[in-house]
Amino acid sequence: MSNDPMAEIKASFFVECGELLESLQDALTDMDEGAYDNETINVVFRAVHSIKGGAGAFGLDALVAFAHRYETVMDEVRSGRLEIDHDSLKLFFHTADFLADQVAAARDGLPEPDGSEACLQELEALMGDALPPPEEEDISDFQPMGLSLDLGISDAEFGDFGLPPQLEDMPDESAPWSLTFTPSSALYASGNDPTHLLRNLRDLGEVVLRCDLAALPDFDTLESQHSYLSWHATLPGELDEGDIRDIFEFVEDVCTLELTRTSQDARAETTEFTLPDLSDLAPLGADPSSMAESVEAGPAQQADPAPDTPAPAETPPPAVDPPAAKPTPQASPNAEAPGATVRVDLERIDRLVNLVGELVINQAMLAQSVAEAGLPQNSKVMTGLEAFMMLTRDIQDSVMMIRAQPVKPLFQRMGRIVREASAAVAKEVRLRTEGEATEVDKTVIERLADPLTHMIRNAVDHGLETPDIREAAGKPREGIITLSAQHRSGRVVIEIIDDGAGINRKKVLEKAISKGLVPADVQLSDAEIDNLLFLPGFSTADQISALSGRGVGMDVVRSAIQALGGRIAITSEPGKGTRFSISLPLTLAVLDGMVISVANETLVVPLSAIIETATLTTEDIRSLGPQTNVIHVRGDFVPLYDLGAELGYRAPKSSYEGGIVLLTAQDNGERSALVVDAIMEQRQVVIKGLQQSYGHIPGVAAATILGDGQIALILDPADLVHNASGRTRGLETALAG
Amino acid sequence: MTQDTSKITSASEVELLSFRLGEEEYSVDIMSVREIRGWTRATPLPHAPAYVRGVINLRGTVLPVVDLSVRLGMAPVKGDARNVIIVVQMGAQTAGLLVDAVSDILNLPRSELQPPPDLAADSAHNYISALTIVEGRMIRVLDLASVLPEDAVEAA
């Protein structure tokens, strides 16, 4: 696709950055919940470190510089020299947000985001004067281990994963270094070559190198993809540890590295190689053809390329148990084992989804023709067809699941919104998320971001009270917003709950009346008042804050949700808080519809738009104008539309008595009644776009293919009513006829 | 070829698919024809112009069908088993042309194509890019771009 191979690698780096930022957020959230253990801190450190490493490789200097300074501070935390408290955590979050901005800026080639310097300075201020400047080596009182690993800040940046101090003997400063380097198969898989590393090592100074063949099995049992070799090197004692570790910086996740000062016992057991011979050593398993394979074989070998998993997959080979290899992710409390993943072009998935859609339609057609052929129920064809039907459904579900993604990244974005919003209005807010692993169609997630952002801002701005008021009401100063997702009967339900003051119904009603949205003498139930929030142009904040209240309000949220085939509901309890529930379809590729017929045409109406169905009686129908009718449903007058007439299939009927109507709800809560000839069935239909092949048709959302191979149009009742004439009176019959 | 197959290009030979509409004979450049299908009932589209017969299911895609006869200002194609739908592609757009019957495939030197005379009284000539005579019959070469439904028409 691209002429520039680097561009592709770079693109995948940014994808990885996204994952790293996600794990960074996760770990910070864990810390926020009180997990101050080394593992969690390490995850934070490692995420920042890996971003720095990758950015360095691409020469993204601004990002490197930023990540480096963040990393330095995190290293202080890791080494226990910096206490974490609520405020510093807030700063860490803040910096993580900036880091995300930096990554985005680097990706899009934009200038550095404003304020990152200020943020860093604030962060670095945490380290305070009590701490020595980072460049000074600190063989400190805290560190009984002295030289062995966490030599000091500058060294710690390179590679070691910050184990709790190891109690080791303090060897002599000038004792030669002993290095054991055991590459894992992942090292080869990610295209690294130990030869280069060892050559670099040689360039440092006089090196005695031995290759350890002990793990090498017999030729018969040798697995070409497996890594068996390790190297022992003895390096001059005057070398700097940092310099040595530097060489291995980018492979540290895929090898085990042990670096210690030796006492003089040599541990030579094996064949000796001198360095020049290395060029003859074909790197094991690293021939290009097998590389790709072994990357894909990731799950089996746990051999994800290093930056892919922020918590490096620990390698199976005979680990020497050096301290540097220890901090495996497993220990981390919330770490779910990183599943093996494959990145696939979205287009391919969509193609697959389409094909499966075809399969479903074909299967339905086949079933119909078999049924028409009048075969007995227990015939082989029938039973085979039934099995086929089940399989098709399973395939369809599985394929839909490919497009599904956890809502977690979306929720994490909301975490940031909460932080920014609460800072802007000086409120103390904590975001709780539940059900982050809930999976929803990718498109749904993408299109949910804006409405959700809006609602979260609203919750912070309008929902929660200021800390003082909360305190006065006997609540904790910190308000809590809960964002949850769960699957419920084939749909996904996302809830935004705040523990604020609840909706001030009196105020809402006054506002609605003053804005002329409802008549002054209107009688409304509590629920109806709550729903006034969804009216266009409604904004309750007394002052228009920078945060929300720009006039685009909940009505926009509501139409965005409805465009996704979703519904939104609101419940509120004074003094306790407000809850918004969004119910969404799991996918946009299929839709639950009611199949109806009008003027011999078959149509599908989305089930989500239908409130109820009814049969009309004479008493229900009242004429409104010379050409229009309304029907009387439980005390409300609802305009009547003849679907057949509105779609131009026929002229309005002379009488609608005994007709079947679908009651539908519109964006603004208004209802309308659509007359249909018959309701045939309820079923899932595969959505086929009309837009591409033909263009937009008023009142029609899309099309689908029915079991008989015919195309049926899927209606968009809101759009239909919007464009409708409303002619339902016999008077027109003559004119239109 | 992928650009605009309906326009006559400089190649010396041209291959045309000829078909019948009422008593008249028309043709399209065969390079723009994807397939020919038997008649199937189309699902009518609301608010569509009269020449848009509706949409049919072409192996899972929704294909708009144009009644070419109506489009050219003649009586609608009856719509029975003898009628066929010529599936044509122009750029990214695919559509079906409902015609009475397909008659022939013609191989002609490009030089035998003549530009249509400019007769203002006849609106149909807008849809014709060239004329030719084959065995004494006059055959019109359709300008596909002008007969396919445009989005702008439908959006209104």
**Residues above pLDDT 90, as percent of chain B:** 20
Query: How far apart are alpha carbons A371 and A329 in whole angstroms?
Result: 57
A 10 A CB-CB count for A289 gives: 6
Substitution target in B37, B45, B93, B150 with the highest count of A β-carbons within 10 Å is B45
Q: Is B43 on the interface with A (CB under 8 A)?
A: yes
A182-191, A632-641, B84-93: the lowest-pLDDT one: A182-191
Q: What is the pLDDT of residues A536-589, one digit of tens each?
A: 767 655 444 444 444 457 777 888 887 777 778 888 888 888 899 888 877 666
| Contact with chain B for residue A689, Cβ under 8 A | yes
* Fold (topology level) of A407-585: Heat Shock Protein 90 (3.30.565)
Q: Do A697 and B93 touch (CB under 8 A)?
A: no
Statement: residue A278 has pLDDT above 70: no
Separation in Å, CA of A347 to nearest CA in chain B = 17
Q: Does B45 touch chain A (CB under 8 A)?
A: yes
Whether B85 has its CB under 8 Å from any CB of chain A: the answer is: no
Is B17 within a domain? yes
Least confidently predicted of A139-143, A204-208, B41-45, B125-129: A139-143
Q: What residues of A are in contact with residue B156 (Cβ under 8 Å)?
A: none
Residues ≥6 apart with Cβ < 8 Å to B78: B100
Higher-pLDDT residue of A276, A703:
A703
A315/chain B closest Cα distance in angstroms: 48
pLDDT at B65: 92
Q: Which residues of A touch B55 (CB under 8 A)?
A: 690, 693-694, 703, 711
For residue B143, pLDDT over 90 is answered with no
Residue B147, CA distances (Å) to A325, A365, B27, B51, B144 in order: 70, 33, 13, 10, 5
- Please state the domain extents for chain A: 1-131, 141-328, 346-405, 407-585, 590-736
Burial of A420 (0-12, 13-18, 19+ CB in 10 A): middle
| A80 or A322: which leads in pLDDT | A80
Where helices occur in A231-336 by DSSP H, the ranges are 241-247, 288-296, 298-301
Measured between alpha carbons, how far is A66 from A61 in angstroms, rounded to an integer? 8
Most confident segment among A377-391, A628-642, B86-100, B140-154? B86-100
Q: Is B96 on the interface with A (CB under 8 A)?
A: no
C-alpha distance from residue A224 to each of A184, A217, A220, A228, A305 (Å): 13, 11, 11, 10, 18
pLDDT of the residue at A438: 86
* A215–chain B nearest CA distance, Å: 58
B-chain CB neighbours of A359 within 8 Å are none
Pick the CATH number of A590-736 from 2.40.50.180, 3.30.565.10, 2.60.120.1440, 1.20.900.10: 2.40.50.180
pLDDT at B125: 58
Asked if pLDDT for residue B17 goes beyond 90, the answer is yes
Residues 23-42 of B with CB under 8 A from A: 40-42
Indicate whether B6 belongs to any domain. no
pLDDT for position A298: 39
Q: What is the DSSP string of A82-101?
A: S---HHHHHHHHHHHHHHHH
Residue with tokens 């709780």: A432
Can you give the pLDDT at residue A720? 84
A474-533 pLDDT tens trace: 888 888 999 999 887 667 889 999 988 888 888 888 888 887 778 888 788 888 888 888
ipTM for the predicted complex:
0.80
Entry pTM: 0.51
> What is the chain B residue with the closest CA to A645?
B46
B56 and A690 in contact by Cβ < 8 A?
no
Residue A67 in this model has a pLDDT that exceeds 60:
yes
Domain count, chain B: 1
pLDDT 10s digits, A116-135:
777 778 777 777 654 444 44
Domain presence at residue B80 = yes
Where does the pLDDT of residue B27 fall: very low under 50, low under 70, confident under 90, or very high at 90 and above? Answer: very high
The fraction of chain A above a pLDDT of 90, given in percent, is 3
Q: What is the DSSP string of A543-589?
A: S--SSS-SS--HHHHHHHHHHTT-EEEEEEETTTEEEEEEEEES-SS
- Closest-CA distance, B37 to chain A, in angstroms, reads 15
Q: Which of A646, A695, A700 sits opposite B151 (nearest CB)?
A: A695
β-bridge partners, B16: B29, B106
The larger pLDDT score, comparing residue A85 to residue A663, is at A663
Q: Tell me whether residue A580 is exposed, middle or buried, using C-beta atoms within 10 angstroms of its C-beta: 0 to 12, 13 to 18, 19 or more.
A: buried
B53 within a domain of the structure (yes/no) = yes
CATH number, domain with residue B74: 2.40.50.180
Q: What is the pLDDT of residue A320?
A: 42
Interchain pair B60, A700: CB under 8 A:
no
- Predicted confidence band at A322 (pLDDT cuts at 50, 70, 90)? very low
Superfamily classification of domain A1-131: HPT domain (1.20.120.160)
Q: Residue B25: which domain range?
A: 13-149
Q: Rounded distance, CA A71 to CA A51, Å? A: 10
Residue A604 confidence class, pLDDT cut points 50, 70, 90: very high
Evaluate if residue A602 carries a pLDDT over 80. Answer: yes
Confidence bin at B124 (pLDDT 50/70/90): low
Contacts of the segment A587-590: beta carbons below 8 A, 24+ positions apart: A587/A400, A587/A403, A587/A404, A587/A441, A587/A444, A588/A441, A588/A443, A588/A444, A588/A564, A588/A687, A589/A353, A589/A357, A589/A400, A589/A403, A589/A441, A589/A686, A589/A687, A590/A357, A590/A396, A590/A400, A590/A684, A590/A685, A590/A686, A590/A687
The answer to whether residue B45 sits within a structural domain is yes
Minimum CA–CA partner of B148 in chain A: A694
What would you report as the CA-atom Rg of chain A, rounded to the nearest whole angstrom?
33
Report the residue of chain B nearest A644, measured CA to CA: B46
Within a domain: residue B1? Answer: no
**Which chain A residues contact residue B150 at CB under 8 A?**
695
> What pLDDT is attached to residue A603?
92
Taking an 8 Å cut-off on Cβ atoms, the answer to whether A703 and B61 are in contact is no
Q: What is residue B4's predicted lDDT score, i.e. its pLDDT?
A: 46
Residues of A in contact with B47 (CB under 8 A): 647-648, 697-699
